[in-house]
Chain A
Amino acid sequence: MIKELEEVKKDFLNEINSVATLKDIEQLKIKYLGRKGIISDFMKTIPTVPAEQRATYGLQINTLKNEFTSLIGDVTRRLSRGAIPRTEKELFDITLPGKQPPLGKKHPITQTIDDVKEAFARLGFDVAYGPEVELEYYNFDALNIPSDHPSRTDFDTFYIKNDILLRSQTSTVQIRIMEKQKPPIRIIAPGRVYRPDTVDARHSFMFHQVEGLLVDEGVSFTDLKEVLNQFIKTYFGKDVQMRFRPSFFPFTEPSAEVDISCSICSGKGCSVCSYSGWVEILGAGMVDPHVFKAVHYDAEKYTGFAFGMGIERITMLKYGIDDIRLFYENDIRFLSQF
């Protein structure tokens, strides 16, 4: 912008800031935007400018004119609204709320998955993915789940066709990775899983799991305990206690369920932990030799462990969310809290 125009703008801003009455603003309007006003004078000088700069020059004058018009409009509106006479000095009210630019948020499920990924990345776990529409083989057969197991019925699994289904667990990724890769293996696999449960506060036909798998020579149950201990301390906090309970999963042996001390009542017992002081957060175990057989690993040479947890579940525990449906309603008032 040329210097003269900049000067004019500076003057104008000074003047409009000291305007106090509707009469003042009317005068200012005539001075700058009137038929014989300053802007009009500038317009007249356009033909005197060298031809190749004319367009730019004209454009700048126009921009300035629009700016002035809009500012005068604003002040006029404000003055005509305010019947209260102005005091000599306007209060610059520093207690007025700030103007917040909008900030979006990652979905709480994504945040949890990211937290879990990061905690395990520090322990050397890579991230792996697998298909959600799966062959029955990966969801059941290769995981040592017998052909008459109730989880295979269409009460417990969504089917597309005979041997094609929506995976009911992320353990499928274990098999896919081991088929492709020789030990050592250290992965986690987050993703969506599906089970035909009628939706209520605690159930959803779609939810997220993270599966973990570590296979190498000389891996034992103590390693499983320590890796999960590290994760739990990172994710839930240093003071959280951990408890292993024997359990049963077809694809691990020995199998365990892992509880953490209830953070709501610090282990004293409350409704969240059914008065036991413990809440279950994941299932785990040493990879069953049958699973190694399915992927042609030598079960004498290699041992490994696997674990799996529900993302919604640990998110609900961490934030005290009591209804799983909230995650999929996507109410902005919910999403903005995380």
Chain B
Amino acid sequence: MKISYNWLKEYAYFYLSPQELADKLTNAGLVVADIKPKEDDFFLEIEITSNRPDCLGMIGIAREVTAAVGGSLHLPDTDFETGNTDITNLVTVSVEDPLLCPRYTARVVRNVTVRPSPEWLQKRLLCIGLRPVNNIVDITNYVMFETGQPLHAFDLDKVPDRRVVVRKASNGEKITTINGAQRVLFHTMLVVADSKKPIAVAGIMGGKETEVSESTRDILLECAHFEPRQVRRTSKELGITSDSSYRFERGTDLEGVEFASKRAAKLMKDLADGEIAGEVVDIRSRKCKEKMITLRVDRLHTVLGVEIKRDVASDILRRLQFTIAREVNNFIDVTVPSFRRDIDREIDLIEEIARVYGYNNIPTKTSIHIRSSGKTKYEIAEDCIRQCLTGLGFYEIKTYSIVDTSSLQSMHLWSDKEPIDIANPLRQEESRLRMCLLPNLINVKRYNANYGVERVRIFEIARVYLAGDTLPHEKTCLSVITDADFYSLKGILELLLQQLGIPSKGEWTPFKEPKLFKDERAAQVFLDGRVLGYLGEASKELEFKTQTSLLELDVDLLIESANFTKKYQVISQYPSVIRDLAIIIDERVAWSSIEQCIADIRIPFFKGVNFFDIYRGKQIPEGQKSVAFSLCFQAQDRTLKGEEVDIAVQTALDTLREKLGAELRKI
């Protein structure tokens, strides 16, 4: 809403500089977004929230000013004398759709002289950014900005048969609007028509044919109430917005129609020397129901936390033009003015009182009781994962959940079900909720490579969206990209499992997904038989220049399995003994089998086995490999003797030979 500082003074007396006025209005909830000096005036741009269409006119703003600073509201004079002819002899009006047009008023002003408006009026319009046209058009604009009620002036001589009908358009009907564009109408739209064709799109814009010009003699002044929903839809369908549609969409005052019409007619008499025809056509199917609300004064304290006396409260309401019907004990009965359609309940009155009392005058203090709040297991686990990875040099990234429909993005890592598509995407190419995280990480790696950072370590923790019953299943996943090989990334996964207190190292099976992973260098990992995720070296198809490995895990499963209870294990006072070994074994035997085989022996003072490396070369027969590792022994109650360790090592070697055909490697 654009206002002029000088113009506003016509309705409210105040001694405030433009900046002071702006502060008052902002504190009352009418945010002043801009103040600009304009000649001998000031222009203010005010943001009006959607619940306050009553402030889309200068009088509405003035009402707020008087509520804030006191004083009374001065409404303009609307008294005039009429000519001898009654309107009923000059025009016939009918409303075919009273639901969409609950009130339609018409006045006729005859024998006007169309000429430029007086300077004072032109100045005010110019201040709020409107271009003066002629006195008649200017008056309709002026009164709209004054009252918030849009009006339209037709050249009555150009309305054939002098008949006006408010009706639905028929499909394909056409109208050329004032701005010169031809519009094709549709049966859902409401129009103001003559006996044959539309002369205005109701509430939005008038037609070119009946536009007021210098030759206009008689004016048909329309002042009506159109349904907000109807105006909003038509405005959207036609792609036209106007100061008029803006106000109708938000809802105008059903009872304010008459005042605005009289005000405009009077100005036309005064400024265009017109003669106002007797009577008014006022077709209405609805009356604004008078709303009576009771305010319990003590409820003010309950909601606002501050004591506001009854007379202070009723004074505020009176200044906002509520009528106080009764005021007794704890109660104030008020009648809501018709222009405040946003006020229905006691809580709405409380807000009005709080607003004018001043939010910043309400104390900042609390008596809420103390309460401890701890982290959930979910929070702890997520923090733990982030801490681990950032400590290891990984940057956390965040990427969009809405992705393209490429085959990479549509991989079914986590579900076989169909992807979830958005019905109204911003761009047709990006219309899908992601089903896995890795593709976005791959894109981020490429993005950084374009800026010269080839080797990146990144991760993201976010949700993927998998089709479910009513709502999708939103699974939280972790995805990692690193600049190292399979085993380095596997090491990080092991570390994460340890930090989350998960004793398992996962069950590993080979996995094939050529879009992501290099053949034979990828695995699917399970945790107690449930899929934990996927890990592998990047496929050649991804065209990375350096060694890259990828990982994607089910965080929900990780968190479910996590265990953060820690118990101290007594540290042995006795030294541990480590023996390094190298065995030659069939190529097909996996490390996990060797490890398991040794563990199964159940040597009482056996602490663990540590893998060193695998060697294949000249000294090793074809089809076999040398596997080097160390065995660690320790007792809690004594220092181990060399002989007992020797025996244990020999037992391990014997068992490995027996079960896996392993031989000690001789050098």
Contact = CB atoms under 8 A, between A and B. Distances in A.
A208 to B, nearest CB: 9
A52 B396 contact: no
Given A186-B371, A221-B354, A245-B31, A226 B364 contact: yes
B592 interface: no
Given A110-B386, A125-B373, A127-B379, A243 B360 contact: yes
Contacts of A225: 362-365
A159 B396 contact: no
Q: Which 6 A-B pairs have the closest CB atoms?
A: A246-B29, A220-B305, A58-B667, A102-B393, A222-B305, A124-B371
A223 interface: yes
A159 to B, nearest CB: 5
Contacts of B368: 124, 214, 216, 219, 223, 227
Contact of A332 (B302, B402, B424, B448): B448
Interface in A195-214: 196, 198-199, 205-206, 214
A329 B391 CA distance: 22
Interface stretch (B150-158, B201-209, B410-418, B468-476): B468-476
Nearest to B456: A332
Nearest to B423: A159
A338 to B, nearest CB: 10
B662 interface: no
Given A159-B423, A221-B362, A248-B51, A52 B649 contact: yes
B448 A104 contact: no
B49 A248 contact: yes
11 contacts: A54-B667, A62-B667, A104-B390, A133-B465, A148-B232, A186-B371, A196-B424, A205-B426, A206-B400, A220-B301, A225-B364
B72 interface: no
Interface residues of B, number: 92
B457 A127 contact: no
Contacts, number: 241
Contacts of B360: 243-244
Given A154-B423, A332-B448, A289 B402 contact: no
A254 interface: yes
B582 A55 contact: yes
Contact of B305 (A154, A223, A229): A223
B288 interface: no
Interface in B356-380: 359-360, 362-368, 370-373, 375-376, 378-379
A336 B52 CA distance: 46
Query: Chain A contact residues: over half helix, strand or loop, or mixed?
Result: mixed
Given A124-B373, A256-B359, A332-B456, A52 B426 contact: no
B330 interface: no
A244 B26 CA distance: 10
Contact of B667 (A55, A164, A254): A55
Contacts of B392: 102, 104
A158 B424 contact: yes
Interface string A170-205: 000000000000001010000010101011000001
Contacts of B50: 150, 248
B664 interface: yes
Interface stretch (B98-106, B343-351, B503-511, B530-538): B343-351
A254 B355 contact: yes
A331 interface: yes
Interface of B: 26-29, 31, 33, 49-52, 228-229, 232, 301-306, 345, 347-348, 350-351, 354-355, 359-360, 362-368, 370-373, 375-376, 378-379, 386, 389-402, 420-426, 433, 444, 447-448, 451, 453, 456-458, 463, 465, 470-472, 474, 579-582, 628, 646, 649-650, 664-667
Given A110-B386, A255-B351, A274-B33, A56 B453 contact: no
B457 A330 contact: no
A297 interface: no
A225 B367 CA distance: 12
A308 to B, nearest CB: 16
B474 A328 contact: no
B348 to A, nearest CB: 7
B423 A132 contact: no
B373 A126 contact: yes
Given A133-B420, A286-B303, A59 B628 contact: yes
Contact of B348 (A59, A62, A253): A253
B373 A121 contact: yes
Nearest to B398: A107
Of A135, A184, A286, most B-chain CB atoms within 10 Å: A286
A194 B376 CA distance: 26
Contacts of A52: 646, 649-650
A246 B359 contact: yes
A205 B347 CA distance: 34
Given A55-B664, A55-B666, A58-B667, A245 B390 contact: no
A296 interface: no
Contacts of A154: 423-424
Nearest to B394: A104
A333 interface: yes
A166 B422 contact: yes
Interface string A125-138: 11101011111000
A247 interface: yes
B354 A254 contact: yes
